[in-house]
Each structure stands twice: as C-alpha cells, then as structure tokens.
Amino acid sequence: MSDGVATILIDAVKHWERTADVVVIGQGVAGACAALEARAAGAQALILERASGGGGTSATSEGIFYLGGGTAVQTACGYQDDAATMFTFLRASTSAEDEKLRAFCDGAAAHFDWLEAQGVRFARSAYKGKAVALRTGEGLLMTGNEKVWPYRDQARPAPRGHQVTPNAQGSGAAAMVALLDRCREAGVEALYDVQATNLIVDGGGRASGVRVRRGDATLDVRARKAVILATGSFNSNPDMVRENVPLISSTSLPIGIPYNDGSGIRLGESAGGALEGMDGMIATASIYPPAQLIKGVIVNTRGERFVAEDVYHGRLASCIAEQPDQTAYLIVDEAIFAYPEAERAQHRLIDGWETIAEMESGLSLPPGALQATLSRYNHDAAAGEDSLFHKHPDYLQPLDHPSYAAFDISFNKSVYAFLTLGGLKTDAGGRVLDADGAPVAGLYAAGACAAQIPHDGKEYASGLTLGPGSFFGRQAGRAAAREQA
C-alpha cells in the first residue's frame, strides 16, 4: 500500500536545508491548527505545503465545523446541548474509539471559542429547515442524523453544524483566510511548492525529518521534536480509490483538490503506521432542497423502501450504493412534486403516470411490489407513524394525489460527489499508531489523512471533517511540542 515509498535513515542525510522543532506537512485546516498550537506551546513550527499557498481542500469546502456541547452559537440560538449529549449521539451513530470521541466532545465548545479567537467568525443565528449547506448567512444548522430514528430517541437532538460567515469566495475560504493570517502573525514559517517524498527516521525508527522535492531539487528538513502529517484524503487518487473503496461508481466525482492523492497516508505507512477505515467514504447527491421531496418515498429495483427518506444525504447515498445494481428511485405525487435543486447531482426525471400500477410497470418493478409498498406507506402516513423506518412526522405525508412521478437517483447514474474517510490510525493525541496499537515515535497525523470519527457515509454529518480535523490538529500540535528534542 505504501506504493514504493520508503523511509530514509538519518545517517544518509548530508545537509539539512531547514530545521524546526515541529514540521507540519500540509496547510489545510488540520495543518494550520497544528502549527498554531505547536507555536503557542513554545515550539518552532515549520509548514511544508505542496501548493503555492495554504488552504487546501478546507478552503474549497462549505466551511461547516461540527461542534457542540453548548457553543456560544447554540446558546444564543436557544438550543440546549452538552458534551454528554453530544457524546451519546456520536457514540450511537459512529464507530469511533471512545477515547477520541470523548476528547472531541468534551473539548468541542472550548475549541469553538478558540476558532473564534483566531478570527473565524460564526453568525449567532440558526437555520430551522433542512439544508445541505447555507447560502443565507446563518451560523448554525442541523447537518446530521440527530433527528433520525433511532438516534432522536437516544439523545436530545441539537444542531451542531457551525457554518463560517462567508467571504466573497465562500465559508471554507473565510475560515482558512483567518487561520492563515494567524499563522503569519504567530511567526509560523511556511515553505510552498514543496512536495514531501519521504520521511527521515533515526536508527530506532523515530520520525526525525522530511525529504521534499522543490522543482528539480531535493531538500532535507530536520524535525527536532516531531513530524505532523496533515496532507488530506486520497479521493483524488483513482488507483487508491479503486483499491480500497469497493462501492465507488464510474459516475462518482471526488471532492477537493488534485493534491488529495494519499501521499501522507503512504508516508505514514512507510514508517510503520497502521491504516483504518480505508473502505469508507461520504458521498452526496442530495434530493433536498427542496425539503418537500423528503416526503416522497425511495425504492429499489424490488419496489421496496430500504431507508427512511429523512436521513442525512450521506447516509442515504451509502444505502443506495448497497442496493441491487446501486439503483434507486424517488417517488413523488402531484402534491409534493418538485425538481431537486442540486443540479450537479443530475437526478433524472424518468416520467409521470396516472396510477401507481402504471408507474410500477413503467419502472419495470416486480408486479404488485410498488403498489404494496405505497399502500403500507400511505396507511402509516395517515396514522402518523412510519412503522417500517420511523421517518420523522415532519416529513410523513400520504402519496395519494395523482399523478405520480419518479426520479432516477441511482448511485451509478446520478453524479455522487465523494470524500474518502479512511487513513492512518491515530490516538486522541494525534499520534500515529502501528499495527499493535503502539505509537510510531515522533509521528502525528490529523485531518483527512487520518481515519476520521465517521468511518462511512452512514455515520457522517456535515462538519465532521473540519470540526475534528481542526480539533485533532491542535491536539497533535500540542503533543508534538512536548516531545523531547
């Protein structure tokens, strides 16, 4: 999997081009936060960035940080939340390790305060509807499965998607402008247009530096204390995606920048780092907005429902990818008909029919299957309880207003944008772990090159990349600064 990447013994290094206490590879949100925290702890931090400037995929994102536990925005908007409730929800809905999850939930509210102290701004207003991301300026929205059964019965739902007040380029760009400004103000040095090609290790395997390529030149950079990998995901590397993500389709498109090629994962693996969750991805081709489409039903080629239609769009995508032939149809009636507004998804209107039987035949579904599905659903909707998947009552409405229409939302026909979720296995302090669970000396990882809190799209909520990425970046920066030189 390391694909030919090898470590270099420190004895082979003839000249150090630069030396720093902590060397951070990558200047997206995780790398910037790691460098800032290392600097605040008194360490000299040096960032090595492959692009001509900082920002990474974080700068192109929607700028949503999943945070909770009673942040200033949650409180200002009248929502009750605490670390224990946040932990209960994430423990029920994700497969992350307890130690990491507890650290994130316990520290989330204070981390929000830290972000604002760096100049990352969030409006004290909330969006009450269901949206993928905001274009209307509010700073808080529900971005996950908090209101979806069974989680709504296990933990009090609270919105935790904190979206940054945008600049002209968007919310992700606004967040990174603030963090990059703070890096410069704090005296964090950065080298740009350099690509890390190898980790340099001492005789005991401790990460002690980085070999980089700048143009035709090869440079060696010394890390007196530690190296932090913050290089992003591998979703822009088609070979790695095909090797690790079996559900990917030919119509799927990667989210992010071309430099999300898994280079940091390979570097960490070359030094003995273990991998985790490499088959996980979050994909999206949302059927909402408009939210009225959630009142429809989604069926597979057997004419059967297989998921509650009100789930987070990433959870829906994962469920569709697992269906026979990765095929699914969104069924609506005249009362709720609308076109999905996510044009990039290219959900196709198949046709309209006057009866359910005609629609069943037109979609080549098993005779009687769709009629039975809608009969049960309409009975449940009229009674106010979805007995099969417990869709939230807000989106429960009989489909009994002919005519009917169907959209093809198949995973291998619509365009699902995706982000990989797997990477290096780390502990709550950001240390890279080996196959036995022991730390790789002097090596840390944070952000999308590390295995994230959600291991697949069913577990994901918008903001569970930037939120934990920035939080565990800080964790890694603090811990790296404490290493002995």
pTM for this one?
0.96
Dist. CA 2–CA 433, nearest whole Å: 16
The CATH number of the domain where 400 resides is what?
Answer: 3.90.700.10
Q: Is the pLDDT of residue 454 over 70?
A: yes
pLDDT at residue 99 greater than cutoff 90: yes
- 400 and 430: one domain? no
Beta bridge partners of 439: 433
Establish if 67 belongs to a structural domain.
Answer: yes
Same domain (yes/no): 148, 105: yes
Provide the 8-state DSSP code for 167.
B
pLDDT at 249: 95
Residues 352 and 388 grouped into a single domain: yes
Q: How far lies 107's CA from each of 65, 152, 268, 432, 444, in Å?
A: 13, 23, 26, 21, 19
Asked whether residue 416 is assigned to any structural domain, the reply reads: no
Task: List pLDDT tens digits, range 259-269.
Answer: 999 999 999 99
pLDDT tens, residue by residue, 349-380? 999 999 999 999 999 999 999 999 999 999 99
* Residues 296 and 274 placed together within one structural domain of the fold: no
Question: Do residues 317 and 348 both lie within one domain?
Answer: yes
| CA pair distance 300, 324, nearest whole angstrom | 7
Asked whether residue 274 falls in the same domain as residue 295, the answer is: no
Domain finish residue from 375, 408, 441: 408
- Looking at residue 230, its pLDDT comes to 98
Last residue within a domain, chosen from 408, 433, 458: 408
**Structural domains of the chain, count:** 2
Q: What is the mean pLDDT of residues 8-21?
A: 97
Residue 242 burial (CB < 10 Å; 0-12/13-18/19+)? exposed
DSSP-based three-state secondary structure for 264:
helix
Rounded Cα distance between 317 and 284, Å, is: 6
Mean pLDDT of 94-102: 96
Handedness of CA 162, 167, 170, 176 (dihedral sign): negative
The band of 2, judged by pLDDT with boundaries at 50, 70 and 90, is low
pLDDT above 70 coverage of the chain, percent: 99
Is 332 found in the same domain as 461? no
Is the pLDDT at 1 greater than 70? The verdict is no
The confidence score (pLDDT) of residue 113 equals 98
Which of residues 361, 387, 408 is at a domain's end? 408
**pLDDT tens-digit map of 142-193:** 999 999 999 999 999 999 999 999 999 999 999 999 999 999 999 999 999 9
For residues 360 and 258, membership in a common domain is answered with no
pLDDT for the residue numbered 377: 98
> What whole-number distance in Å separates Cα of residue 91 and Cα of residue 150?
13
By residue range, what is the domain housing residue 205? 1-280+421-485
Q: What is the DSSP letter of 447?
A: G
Q: Are residues 260 and 327 in the same domain?
A: no
The rounded Cα 151 to chain-centroid distance in angstroms is 20
Residue 485: pLDDT band by 50, 70, 90 thresholds? confident
Nearest to 456 by CA among 410, 418, 421, 416: 421
Same domain, 341 and 271: no
